[in-house]
């Protein structure tokens, strides 16, 4: 009976246990090959009596599907087994490169400035960022209510104290001058890098937090010529030996005389361009001879000693050195910006 044969085959197929590709292929040929069981049964199907055809047809299809499913499952099992045997990791693969990051341009420039001045005998001094009125203003010859206090918009921590010594965020590193002179008698030769704070609207050219480097040199017979020569040395080391300097008279309460120093434009070499607004010059720092009032306020005899001071913005120097157009980029931590400084120094 064809029906029994088919049913037997269905059982048999369900129990096929081929474990290699070859065995599976042999089973496939046995059932689905040209001279295989299926073709044989289909040939016999022609002889089946009409009233049995429907039932036998359904069984034949069931057998065919069973064979096909069995073969598919066996193939999948073998593939899975083989995959399981493959090592998951290739331990011979070289390790992924570790990206090391880079030094922030402001750090690089600060270090370079400190390096340059340390070569002529300046040592690093520091002071607190939260300061008092005395060290930021009064000792630096800003009288109370003096309009010069408005030059630097101050963040106050404690305003309107009875003793007048308000607590505030330092608006410049000149406070470190005072702290150093209070601590130490001349000769004094210090460089004071640090963060300063001003209540200013943030723009491409101004920020409420920025960095300054202060210089102070106090000894007997220190002259304006010493100031000029020291700054010329700095500029040539920092921007190249062909850089020129120019001093313009200016005003700071704590220096007399006071000056602002320009350098010949690093971009156009003094020819005139957009960066220097066609003047050929770029302003880089404020400086002057320390006012005798400041020396006296800090306990130094102004009849015996004299000295010079200067202060510069690190952001500004870095902008000129690396042609950075927008100050905000220093603080945004955009990897695309920072990566440009990988490998600098
Ligand atoms: N403290 C001044 C400023 O912040 C800079 C300066 C320092 C000027 C020392 C003269 C001497 O603008």
- Tell me the CA–centroid distance for residue 272 and ligand 1, in Å: 27
Q: Which residues of 117-150 are buried (b: 16+ CB within 10 A; e: fewer)?
A: beeeebeebebeeebbbbbbbbbbbbeeeeeebe
Residue of higher predicted confidence among 38 and 312 = 312
The answer to whether the CB of 224 falls within 8 A of the CB of 215 is no
Residue of higher predicted confidence among 343 and 92 = 92
Tokens of 242: 């062909």
Probe residue for ligand 1, chosen from 200, 234, 248, 252 as the CB with the greatest number of ligand atoms within 8 Å: 252
Residue of higher predicted confidence among 156 and 144 = 156
Report the SS3 class of residue 289. Answer: strand
The answer to whether the CB of 344 falls within 8 A of the CB of 101 is no
- Model confidence over 95-152: pLDDT tens digits? 888 877 889 999 999 999 999 999 999 999 999 999 999 999 999 999 888 776 766 6
Q: Which amino acid residue places its CA nearest to atom 7 of ligand 1?
A: 311
- Tell me the CA–centroid distance for residue 279 and ligand 1, in Å: 23
Query: Does the pLDDT at position 293 exceed 70?
Result: yes
**Cα 264 from chain centroid (whole Å):** 30
- Model confidence over 130-145: pLDDT tens digits? 999 999 999 999 988 8
Report the SS3 class of residue 282. Answer: strand
* Ligand 1 atom closest to residue 258's alpha carbon, by position in its atom list: 10
* Ligand 1 atom closest to residue 287's alpha carbon, by position in its atom list: 10
pLDDT, averaged across the chain: 91
From the CB of 307, is ligand 1 less than 6 Å away?
no
The answer to whether the CB of 308 falls within 8 A of the CB of 285 is no
Tokens of 279: 């003047």
Q: What is the band of 41 on the pLDDT scale with cuts at 50, 70, 90?
A: confident
Closest CA to 191 of 308, 306, 303: 308
199-216: average pLDDT: 93
Q: What is the band of 160 on the pLDDT scale with cuts at 50, 70, 90?
A: confident
Probe residue for ligand 1, chosen from 215, 234, 286 as the CB with the greatest number of ligand atoms within 8 Å: 286
From the CB of 311, is ligand 1 less than 6 Å away?
yes
pLDDT at 148: 65
CATH 3.90.1150.10 correct for 105-341 = no
- Tell me the CA–centroid distance for residue 7 and ligand 1, in Å: 102
* Cα–Cα dist 238/321, whole Å: 9
Query: Which of 199-213, 228-242, 258-272, 315-329 has maximum average pLDDT?
Result: 228-242
Q: What is the band of 345 on the pLDDT scale with cuts at 50, 70, 90?
A: very low
From the CB of 310, is ligand 1 less than 6 Å away?
yes
pLDDT at 344: 55
- Percentage with pLDDT > 70 across the chain: 98
From the CB of 287, is ligand 1 less than 6 Å away?
yes
> H-helix or E-strand containing 76?
helix 50-85
Query: Does the pLDDT at position 246 exceed 50?
Result: yes
Closest CA to 137 of 120, 151, 122, 124: 151
* Ligand 1 atom closest to residue 177's alpha carbon, by position in its atom list: 9
- Model confidence over 257-287: pLDDT tens digits? 999 999 999 888 888 888 888 999 999 999 9
From the CB of 174, is ligand 1 less than 6 Å away?
yes
Q: Which amino acid residue places its CA nearest to atom 2 of ligand 1?
A: 311
From residue 148, alpha-carbon distances to 63, 82, 256 in Å are 101, 82, 14
Domain locations in the chain as residue ranges: 2-85, 105-341
- Percentage with pLDDT > 90 across the chain: 57
């Amino acid at each position: 009976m064809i029906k029994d044969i088919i049913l037997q085959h269905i059982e048999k197929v369900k129990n096929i246990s081929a474990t290699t590709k070859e065995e599976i292929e042999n089973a496939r040929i046995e059932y689905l090959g040209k001279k295989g069981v299926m073709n044989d049964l289909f040939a016999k199907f022609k002889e089946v009596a009409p009233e049995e055809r429907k039932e036998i047809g359904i069984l034949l299809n069931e057998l065919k599907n069973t064979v096909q499913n069995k073969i598919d499952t066996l193939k999948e099992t073998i593939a899975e087994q083989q995959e399981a045997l493959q090592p998951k990791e290739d331990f011979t693969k070289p390790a992924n490169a570790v990206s090391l990051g880079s030094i922030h341009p402001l750090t690089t420039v600060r270090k370079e400035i400190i390096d340059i001045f340390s070569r002529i005998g300046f040592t690093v001094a520091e002071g607190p960022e939260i300061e008092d009125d005395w060290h930021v203003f009064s000792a630096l010859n800003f009288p109370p209510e003096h309009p010069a206090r408005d030059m630097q918009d101050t963040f106050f921590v404690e305003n309107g104290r009875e003793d007048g010594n308000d607590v505030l965020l330092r608006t410049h590193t000149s406070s470190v001058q005072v702290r150093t002179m209070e601590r130490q008698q001349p000769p004094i030769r210090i460089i004071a890098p640090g963060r300063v704070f001003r209540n200013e609207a943030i723009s491409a050219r101004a920020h409420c937090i920025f960095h300054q480097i202060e210089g102070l040199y106090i000894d007997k017979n220190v002259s304006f010529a010493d100031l000029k020569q020291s700054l010329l040395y700095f500029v040539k080391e920092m921007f190249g030996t062909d850089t020129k300097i120019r001093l313009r008279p200016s005003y700071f309460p704590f220096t007399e005389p006071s000056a602002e120093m320009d350098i010949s434009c690093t971009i156009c070499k003094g020819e005139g361009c957009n960066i220097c607004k066609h003047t050929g010059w770029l302003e880089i720092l404020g400086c002057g001879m320390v006012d005798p009032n400041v020396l006296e306020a800090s306990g130094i005899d102004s009849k015996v000693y004299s000295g010079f001071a200067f202060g510069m913005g690190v952001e500004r120097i870095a902008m000129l050195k690396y042609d950075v157009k927008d100050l905000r980029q220093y603080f945004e931590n955009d990897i695309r910006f920072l990566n440009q400084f990988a490998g600098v120094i």
